[in-house]
Chains A and B, each alone.
Chain A
Amino acid sequence: MIAITVSENIKNAKIEDCFGKSEYFFIINKKTKESYFEKNPAKELLKNSGREAALFLIKKGVKTVISSNFGVPVKKLFDKNKVQMVMISSKIKYLNDIEWVNK
């Protein structure tokens, strides 16, 4: 399962820069092609939003997370749970810039 941080629950949503403050996660299983949006339950938290968002995705069984930036507490959690972190470049701005999202 792969999670991508996005600003809206639509296919041409902007990819969010900050992992913990992301509005939604686009979650996709590349094998079954099943995909859906999940609201980030930690977005409104004043503290530890990255950590709580990471725990939420780990519980969902996500193995790869695509975002622009990750913080230190998030990295520690993902390392411990063997979750891959992917930092996209500014070349990719929208969810549908990623080819396999639309297949």
Chain B
Amino acid sequence: MARPIKPRKLLLPHKAISFIPEKKDGIPSESITLLSEEYEVIKLVDYENMNHLQAAKIMKVSRPTLTRIYKKARNKIAESLIEQKTLKLEGGNSYMVENWYKCDDCEAVFNIPESFSFLQNCPVCSGKSIHLFSNNNT
């Protein structure tokens, strides 16, 4: 039996977004799912210009595992561009290092450092309806 995949560590939450190609015929395109850990690798390596080893340390995976996730993510993005498929950011096998919260009213996502009162309102709209945020279930 194959060894179960260890969850990958994420430092910051990401917003659940879809990238939809603009098509003249308006026909909805097929979609590809980019997992939370694949998004995180693209962010660390291509956006923050980290090398694979630095990114692997942050995500608590081995360097070869990170390279594998990165290659998969790049292939999915390329497929989305070339074949004009919708790219959906959802799912994945990951966890965040700390709790993040989401306001139901303005949809702001925030952390609560130790020195802050836990039962605070939303820092943006002062809304009281706040829930624990997770990348897999926004």
Which A residues have a C-beta under 8 Å from some C-beta of B?
Answer: 2, 64, 66, 70-72, 75, 79, 82-92, 98-100
Interface contact tally, CB-CB below 8 A: 60
- Chain A residues near B115 (CB-CB < 8 A): 82
Interface residues on B, range: 20 to 34
Which B residues have a C-beta under 8 Å from some C-beta of A?
Answer: 11-13, 15, 44, 48, 50, 58, 106-116, 123-126
Contact of A92 among B12, B50, B124 (CB under 8 A): B124
Contact of B125 among A64, A79, A99 (CB under 8 A): A99
Report whether over half of chain A's contact residues are helix, strand or loop; otherwise say mixed. Answer: mixed
Closest A residue to B109 by CB, please name it: A87
Contact of B58 among A66, A72, A79, A86 (CB under 8 A): A72
- Chain B residues near A2 (CB-CB < 8 A): 123
CA distance A82 to B15 in the complex (A): 23
* Beyond A91-B106, A92-B106, 18 additional pairs, beta carbon < 8 A: A64-B123, A66-B123, A70-B12, A71-B48, A72-B50, A72-B58, A83-B113, A84-B111, A84-B116, A86-B108, A86-B109, A86-B124, A87-B12, A88-B108, A88-B124, A89-B108, A98-B124, A98-B125
